Amino acid sequence: MKRTRLLSVLIVISVIFMCMQIYFFKNAGQRHERHLTEESAIKTFVEISSSHNIPIFLVEPDILQKISNRQQASREPSKHCKYLCHNKQKTTFAVINKHWKEQNQFFNTLKQSGFSWTHTTGKDPRPLSSRIHDNQDIPLHYLFYKNEHTIHLVIFYERNSNYWWHGPIEVDDSIEVKDQMTVTGAVIGQHAGAFDKMVISPIYIDGVKVHVPRDTSSFLRQLLHSKFIECNYQEASRFLEENGDDNREEATFFRVKAKKLLIKAKDLLDQIGIRFWLSSGTCLGWYRECNTIAHSQDVDLGIWIKDYQSSLIHTFERNGLSLKHLFGKEEDSFELSFMSGDLKLDIFFFYEEDNIMWNGGTQAKTGKKFKYNFPKFTLCWTEFVGLKVRVPCETHSYIEANYGKDWNKRVRDWDWKSSPANVKENGFWPEEERPRVIQVF
């Protein structure tokens, strides 16, 4: 009886083990087949692009992360599919627009190799910054299919010779359902993006020569915060038509000086690795007029207090920006002002508290403190006076918090202590602290 039970148990265990083996080998076979399909599609696309002198480069985050993390990727060929087989149905490449030519021969070769494709287009935003409104459609993204694998090709456009931009993938009724599923899962293309220009270098992975950003870690860091929003040039033109633009010689001169000051501040903050964004009147000028407000007479930037570095003041002063005001302290209402000739640069430091973000203000002669509350916001890239700079992504709520619902009307008499819609009195600095928290140079 015991032998019979033991035999039964052994038979059951054997059957279970056999089923597990069948399941394992079946799935292993499927994975192997999928890897072969994936690797074949990628290698074929790379080889065809190379043979037609189209300098594509790899920007697939999963693969770049492997390359960045590791040490096996080298300039020598390797035989195993360690990188290209990343268990995804899509692999993303990019190409710079000036190198992208829709050669019939290239597409014919792809077709002969079993590829099919579709692409999306959008309006070229580059002429808009020059107030040219007859912008044409340009190709933004291509999707190439082979054996159930998709090659996603992003077209990067150089803007103002200092950064690369790509448009979003616009999903509409002309895009088939399978394409919509592919593009909605795309890491690059869910929104417009901007990247610093970078050096592209060759590397051998899995026995194939591909090109990748030389500094893969930098590219991956930029990718996390690459979202780009365009200034609304159409609304800005409407505003200027209704309200007129200030074309006086003094206004033109101020805008030239303001741009030079912004370029210098950007270069210095970038050097020491401090993120900043356009704030206050400078941000309003971008949002409302796509330009500096001529009568504002200063440049305003925002910085997270958590990003502040004490080297900022020394770096600015060493490069010709003299410290004019230092108000508050790092833990409360910190604010800096610098002078470049007769032009002032205000830097407001922002704090996070519960469901708001805020910056402080100080009245030098009385020691009175002020607080400016903003709804929480994130940062996006944009283009302003030819520069790639950050603004709050939620720009409308940011502007409306500071300037109220009448932000779209010009106000020339502005009192920072009473005019902002979000200003609140916030007590006084204690007498004993004032020498440290109210410094005027």
Using one digit for the tens of pLDDT, what is the confidence trace for 214-259? 999 999 999 999 999 999 999 999 999 999 988 889 999 999 999 9
Return the CATH number of 233-440, one of 2.60.40, 3.30.420, 3.40.1710, 3.30.460. Answer: 3.30.460
Position 323: which residue type?
L
CA-based max dimension of the chain? 108
Choose between 383 and 126: higher pLDDT.
383
What mean pLDDT comes out for the span 408-415? 89
For residue range 187-217, what is the model confidence (pLDDT) as tens digits?
A: 789 999 999 999 999 999 888 899 999 999 9
For residue range 33-68, what is the model confidence (pLDDT) as tens digits?
A: 444 467 889 999 999 999 999 999 999 999 999 888
Q: Where is 122: in which H helix or E strand?
A: strand 116-123
Q: How confident is the model at residue 6 (pLDDT cuts 50, 70, 90)?
A: low
Q: How many angstroms separate the CA atoms of 83 and 181, rounded?
A: 24
Q: How confident is the model at residue 186 (pLDDT cuts 50, 70, 90)?
A: low
For residue range 131-166, what is the model confidence (pLDDT) as tens digits?
A: 666 678 999 999 999 988 999 999 999 998 889 999
For residue range 250-259, what is the model confidence (pLDDT) as tens digits?
A: 999 999 999 9
Residue 145 tokens read as 């299919």
Q: Give Cα separations from 439 to 55, 306, 331, 334, 369 (angstroms).
A: 55, 22, 16, 11, 14
Q: Are the beta carbons of 426 and 333 closer than 8 angstroms?
A: yes
pLDDT of residue 383 exceeding 70, the answer is yes
pLDDT of residue 267: 97
- Residue ranges of domains in the chain: 40-224, 233-440
Q: What is the Cβ-side half-sphere exposure of residue 357, based on CA atoms within 13 angstroms?
A: 20
Q: Where is 269: in which H helix or E strand?
A: helix 249-272
Q: How confident is the model at residue 356 (pLDDT cuts 50, 70, 90)?
A: very high
Global pTM? 0.86
